[in-house]
Structure 1
Amino acid sequence: MTNYSREDLSWTSDLKEAFGGDVELQDEQGRAVRMELEAEFKVGEQRYAVLRKPGAAEGEHELYHVSPSPEGDISITTIEDDDEWEDISELYDECTLPEEL
């Protein structure tokens, strides 16, 4: 398990600049699913997106890899590694939850 800290994360805005506040993904059946862009950031060289289904409760989000291509296209893919997903999810929560006084 990798231990990340707030200093490892840098906020980005590539998806917001390209698509606005919503992105469209395809589900397993090939149907379009609209997701709200909650946040995007980079840890090391890997970029991530935090997406939420419309109407989902606060804190109910999904994490994805974001990969720009040399042609300028942006792909959004599922994080397959459970440990990576857990590490990045904990880091995002740490960076977005208010610090305790």
Structure 2
Amino acid sequence: MTEFSADQVVWTSRVSDHFGPVVELRDDAGAVSYYSVEKEFDVAGSSYAVLRQEDGSSEEPEIFKIVTTADGTLELITIDDDEEWENVSELYDELTFPE
């Protein structure tokens, strides 16, 4: 996978438009966590959402990949590919904290 650059970013609001400003996510054990939507963007043909836990238990936001299922439902999934996660994370840092 190639690195992403800030000039490739298209800001979006699909998750906020679909779920609202706060998203409810369940982990594999069924525990519910609430996240506020900070940013959403498309880059290189993929979509991502930057979310922050509502309870303040983590200072760092979490980045999820946005996918659309065959029936048109939006889902937020964990980025399992280490290289993709690193590229998206670095891009978000670049966009958030420009030099």
| Same fold per superposition (TM over 0.5) | yes
What is residue 69 of structure 1 aligned with on the other side? 69
Q: Deviation string for 1:14-43 (max 9, x for gaps)?
A: 011111111111112112111111111111
Structure 2 unmatched ranges of 5 or more: none
Is the Cα contact below 8 Å between 2:4 and 2:44 reproduced in 1? Answer: no
Deviates more, 1:24-33 or 1:74-83: 24-33
Look up the SS of the partner of 1:89 in the other structure.
Answer: helix
Using structure 1 for the length normalisation, give the TM-score. 0.86
C-alpha displacement of 1:70: 4.0
Give the share of equivalent positions with the same residue, in percent. 42
Structure 1 unmatched ranges of 5 or more: none
What is residue 24 of structure 2 aligned with on the other side? 24
Q: Matched residues in 2 for 1:33 and 1:46: separation?
A: 24
Q: Matched residues in 1 for 2:79 and 2:70: separation?
A: 21
Could you list the runs of 4 or more consecutive aligned residues of structure 1 that deviate by over 2 angstroms after TM superposition? 69-72
Report the residue type matching 1:14 in the other structure: R
Q: Matched residues in 2 for 1:78 and 1:71: separation?
A: 20
Q: Matched residues in 1 for 2:69 and 2:28: separation?
A: 23
Please give the root-mean-square deviation of Cα atoms over the aligned residues, in Å. 1.4
